[in-house]
Amino acid sequence: MDKIYVTGMEFWGYHGVYPEENKLGQRFRVDVILETDLKQAGKTDELDDTVNYAKVYTVCKEIVEGKPYKLIEAVAENLASELLKEFSTVLYCTVKVVKPDPPIPGHYKSVAVEIKRGRT
């Protein structure tokens, strides 16, 4: 299966368990891998035959900057679900959500979750 990588997207969101996270917000990073057949796009060189990266970014932005979730697991799940719904040619979607400098005890550069979802 061919893969499209859209990585390093950054958004400002209000996700977290603690009230200050929901009030102050913070930066989140998102990486997406979309598995699809790119043969036709390679032959035709037409945007309509592939996944539009700008639309991928827009879907991710709307979710991460939209409704607050307690867990980044929920953010990732909603991202994967919406991307699979938006792009019918995508068979599998891997989503990684990174929360830099989380406000939890200890010294962490970041925490992250990565999920892979596909069509049933």
* Catalytic annotation, residues: 99
Beta-bridge partner residues of 36? 2
Cβ-contact 80, 53 below 8 angstroms? no
Query: Count of CB atoms within 10 A of residue 77's CB?
Result: 17
Helix-, strand-, coil-residue percentages of the chain, each rounded to 5: 35, 35, 30
